[in-house]
Amino acid sequence: MQLDFRARELTLKFVYCGPSHAGKSTNLRVLHDRIAPLHRSKIITLDANDDGTLFLDLLPLSVKMGDVVVRLNLYTVPGKALLTATRRLVLQGVDGVVFVADSRSSETRSNAESFVDLKQNLRDSGRDIRTLPLVIQFNKRDAADARPDSELDALADRGSEPVLRAIASRGEGVSETFVALLDVVLRRLETAGELERTLHVDSTTALVSITDALGLPTDLQRACFGGGGSRHT
Ligand X SMILES: Nc1nc2c(ncn2[C@@H]2O[C@H](COP(=O)(O)OP(=O)(O)OP(=O)(O)O)[C@@H](O)[C@H]2O)c(=O)[nH]1
In the complex, the residues that contact ligand X under the rule CB under 6 A are: 20-26, 52-53, 76, 78-80, 139-140, 142-143, 167-169
At CA 20, angle to CA 175 and CA 54, rounded to 5? 100
| Binding of Mg ion by 121 (CB under 5 A) | no
CA torsion sign for 175, 177, 180, 182 is: negative
Total residues contacting Mg ion (rule CB under 5 A)? 4
CB 114 within 8 A of CB 79: yes
Nearest one of 95, 67, 91 to 11, comparing CA atoms = 95
Q: Which is nearer to Mg ion, 168 or 210 (CB)?
A: 168
CB 1 within 8 A of CB 54: no
Provide the terminal-to-terminal Cα distance of the chain, rounded to the nearest Å: 27
Q: Give least dist CB 28 to ligand X, A.
A: 8
Q: Give least dist CB 52 to Mg ion, A.
A: 5
Q: Which is nearer to Mg ion, 52 or 93 (CB)?
A: 52
Nearest one of 22, 165, 27, 178 to 102, comparing CA atoms = 22
Interface region with Mg ion, contact rule CB under 5 A, candidates 20-28, 64-72, 90-98, 169-177: 20-28
Q: Which is nearer to ligand X, 23 or 96 (CB)?
A: 23
CB 229 within 8 A of CB 156: yes
Q: Which is nearer to Mg ion, 28 or 65 (CB)?
A: 28
Q: Which of 14, 17, 18, 25 binds Mg ion (CB under 5 A)?
A: 25
Q: Binding residues for Mg ion, per CB under 5 A?
A: 24-25, 52-53
